[in-house]
Amino acid sequence: MDGTVIGNARAEGGTARQAGQPAFLAGASALFAGAAMMLDGGILSWAIYAASVTLFLVGLGYAIYLRHLKVLEESSDAVLKGFIAQDAAPSFVTDDEGKILSQNEASSSRFSDVESETLAGTLRAVFANPSAVLYRLQTRAAGKGSAREDIVTRRGHVRIAVHGLTDARFLWRLEDMPERGQAGRNVDTLPVPMFSAGRSGAILYMNEAARRLVGERIKSLDRLFPALPLRSGELNPITTADGPAYGFVVEHESTAGRREIYVLPSAAEAPTDTWGVFEMLPVALLKLDPSGEILTANRMAKTLLGAEFTAGQGLGDVMEGLGRSINDWLRETAQGRNGQKSEFLRLTRPDREMFVQVTLNKLGRDGDEALMAVLSDATELKTLEAQFVQSQKMQAIGQLAGGVAHDFNNLLTAISGHCDLLLLRHDQGDADYADLVQINQNANRAAALVGQLLAFSRKQTLRPEVLDMRDTLSDLTHLLNRLVGEKVTLTLTHDPVLGAIRADKRQLEQVLMNLVVNARDAMPNGGEIRIETEGVTLSRALERDRAVVPAGDYVTVKVQDQGMGIAADKLQKVFEPFFTTKRTGEGTGLGLSTAYGIVKQTGGYIFVDSALGAGTCFTLYFPIHDAVPEAVPAPETATRTSLPQRAEGVVLLVEDEAPVRAFASRALRLRGYTVIEEESAEDALKTLEDGSLNVDVFVTDVVMPGMDGPSWVRKALETRPNTRVVFVSGYTEGTFGEVQTKIPNSVFLPKPFSLSQLTETVHNQLH
């Protein structure tokens, strides 16, 4: 079927009817003229004659109009036939039912083995079920004039376009879409030789230019490059189909360990005008003079540097963060003295933060020196590195906080313990009694700060239970209202359907109080603090602030204020210990770090959103616990029996800190116990070698130089299995809780402890 068929289908009906209308008018005109001649003059005969003339003129004009219309249609059909005949893409003209009225030579050649009168039948050789696609496109073209759609077929991508014509006809066009490479074009048509190589140097792909360069399909890099490893950005010796030569090589790291290698063949010297070729490479390249001025940049480099970049800028104007002078780095590279050619730098583009890996190489010969910079986007790599550094930083601070807390607890035990001993010798009426009470109270305050350090380091002992967040906040409302004062309004909003969580109620209350106090301090002139609870379901993992919240069901708690907000550069530091935006003396910088440690140890997540002048919102995520809230047992009403003034028993006290050992031994002796003191585990075991020595209780530190507390106790219990044990430590029970549970008849007493706590614990172990 060729182009001559255009218009035949419509000519058979409409055109024949239109051609009969002038003949009808001519016949009517003749009848009127005959009637006028039969009448013998008068007004009636002249009127009939005038009517016949009018009908004749109308018929003549209509015939001329139809002739002109036919000429125009034939002319438009000729233009349309000429247009699609010259089109290299298959084109069809169909009626509104999909019947092919005409097709060009490209379509006849493409579908020569297909015999079908409809477009749908013809396209079944290209993709399955074309009727639905054609109907969808034709409907859109009928309403909007044209439509197109890209279809994925077995042979690749095909674009189908349709345009509406007159008389319910449609022009269809099929265009094969080439596969795109990284640079937005087909690498096989790239005029520069390109090789793709694996980690071992095996050639995985060669484009047409590369095959012409080598003369055959090669399997490894050493067949092309006799001197490996490659020197990217420099001339390398190559083996071509015409013999040994030199080529300018640019190497680009691809995915899965692959390398893309571009080779620009050259004589013994570097090419004089190669930038036109570099413009097409899918690698960001900059050409610099030795002073750092950017002489030119290819398309990929301009995209990487952003819209603000213009040629003539210095390298230091578009990137920063080298840690030393960029000019020194450039000078050393130009002089061949730079051993480290690759550096990671931060781009100065204002729209977003980006990092690049810059590899510098020297170009040219004496008298015409320049530098080539190969840029690789390293934003994702630097982001991962920053996440790792932040994680290591928080872990290191946590370990430091735990160690500091241990040492402080030893000091506070000695201070508060000896203060207790002094209080025993003074009555309330003594002049020194009030001073001793002040020392004792401040020691307890210091112990609370140490507890916050342990909370941040996640080394405190938690007592988790199943909680309903609404009940927890309800119990805490009265205390929170007292904390915020009269100028601040506290508003609580709860989700009516809220799941249970598993957490330490006391520690969770501490988190909420810390957040509310911070919100209050951010609004010195008053305002509103909103606490909202909500049950949320994450269908996929939530990634933000260098943390990943797994998919699942969570209870969220938001604490939002209307305060001054936090600057963006300080937002990532708010959870670090001792970091505070308050003035000196107004805060310790431990409130948020404590909240962070408790939430993380509970298995939750905490995030902060803030902007200057717009307030701050802390959001806590707690995983829902699939269990009903546990019933809290009623407190026992039995009264505690008072300790006897004098007690009996032998206590082996093992403590490496001399001040703590001195206080503990004096406290126990005051209660009547016989105390044997040792400063190390090894000395304690040596003392126990005396079989005649009877010991009722071991009181031992956990962490000591040499053998630790649990280790020597286990060894001692082999020969004295009925001896009771009291472990004391500046660390928390959780650091060795599993070890303690395996030691029978043992309890834990955290430092700092008072005189009464120590003697009461020993008494309870003996009785």
What is residue 422's predicted lDDT score, i.e. its pLDDT?
86
Q: pLDDT value at position 28?
A: 55
Residue 535, pLDDT score:
92
pLDDT of amino acid 641:
47
Residue 63 has pLDDT above 80, yes or no: no
User: Where would I find the H helices in 671-754?
Assistant: 681-687, 709-717, 737-741
- Which of the listed ranges 322-326, 440-444, 698-702 does the model predict with the highest average pLDDT? 698-702
Cα–Cα distance, 328 to 49 (Å, whole number) = 109
Residue 630 clears pLDDT 50, i.e. is over it? no
SS3 246: strand
Task: Provide the pLDDT confidence category of residue 15 given band limits of 50, 70 and 90.
Answer: very low
Q: pLDDT of 207-256, one tens digit each?
A: 888 888 888 888 888 888 887 888 777 778 888 888 888 788 888 776 65
Nearest 5 degrees, angle CA 749-CA 750-CA 752? 120
Positive or negative, the CA dihedral 18, 20, 23, 25 is: negative
Q: Residue 182 has what pLDDT?
A: 39
**Contacts of 293-298 spanning 24+ positions with Cβ under 8 A:** 294/318, 295/370
What percent of the chain has pLDDT above 90? Answer: 11
The β-bridge partners of 533 are: 557
Higher pLDDT: 387 or 98? It is: 98
Mean per-residue pLDDT, 142-158: 74
Rg of the Cα atoms in the chain? 45
Q: Which of 386, 438, 449 is nearest to 415 (CA)?
A: 438
Say which residue, 650 or 192, is predicted with more confidence: 650
Give the pLDDT of residue 633: 45
Confidence of residue 43 (pLDDT cuts 50, 70, 90): low
The phi-psi region of residue 576 (left if phi > 0; otherwise alpha if psi is between -120 and 50; otherwise beta) is: beta
| 606 vs 11, residue with greater confidence | 606
The label of the residue with tokens 């970049």 reads 309
Q: What per-residue confidence (pLDDT) applies to 457?
A: 53
Residue 174 dihedral angles phi and psi, to the nearest 5°: -110, 130
- What pLDDT is recorded for position 558? 94
Please give the pLDDT value at position 152. Answer: 60
Residue 566, pLDDT > 70, answer yes
Query: How far is the CA of 201 from the CAs of 196, 215, 217, 599, in angstroms?
Result: 9, 19, 15, 50
pLDDT attached to residue 86: 67
* Cis peptide leading into residue 752 (ω within 30°): yes
Q: Taking Cα atoms as reference points, which of 263, 218, 214 lies closest to residue 239?
A: 214
pLDDT beyond 70 at 38: no
Q: Does 640 score more than 50 pLDDT?
A: no
618 pLDDT more than 90: yes
Rounded to an integer, the average pLDDT of 679-695 is 90
Mean pLDDT score across all residues of the chain: 77
pLDDT at 624 over 80: yes
217 vs 502, which has greater pLDDT?
A: 502
Residue predicted with more confidence, 636 or 723: 723
pLDDT tens readout for residues 87-120? 778 888 899 888 988 888 888 888 888 888 898 8
Question: Residue 607 has what pLDDT?
Answer: 92
Q: Specify whether the CB–CB gap between 331 and 362 falls below 8 A.
A: no
Instruction: State both tokens at 365.
Output: 């010969």
The residue among 167 and 629 whose pLDDT is bigger is: 167
CA distance 677 to 654: 6
Q: Out of 10-19, 181-190, 588-597, 755-764, pick the least confident.
A: 10-19
Predicted pLDDT at 537? 92
| Packing angle of the helix pair 591-602, 433-456 (nearest 10 deg) | 50
pLDDT band at 80 (very low <50, low <70, confident <90, very high): low
Both tokens of 97, joined, read 């039912």
pLDDT at 273 over 70: no
Closest CA to 531 of 553, 543, 513, 547: 513
Which of 507, 467, 474, 499 lies closest to 632, judged by CA?
Answer: 467
Specify the pLDDT at position 225.
87
- Using 50, 70 and 90 to split pLDDT, how confident is the model at 17? very low
Please check the confidence at residue 762 and state whether its pLDDT lies above 80: yes
Rounded Cα–Cα distance for residues 651 and 675 (Å): 5
Looking at residue 643, its pLDDT comes to 56
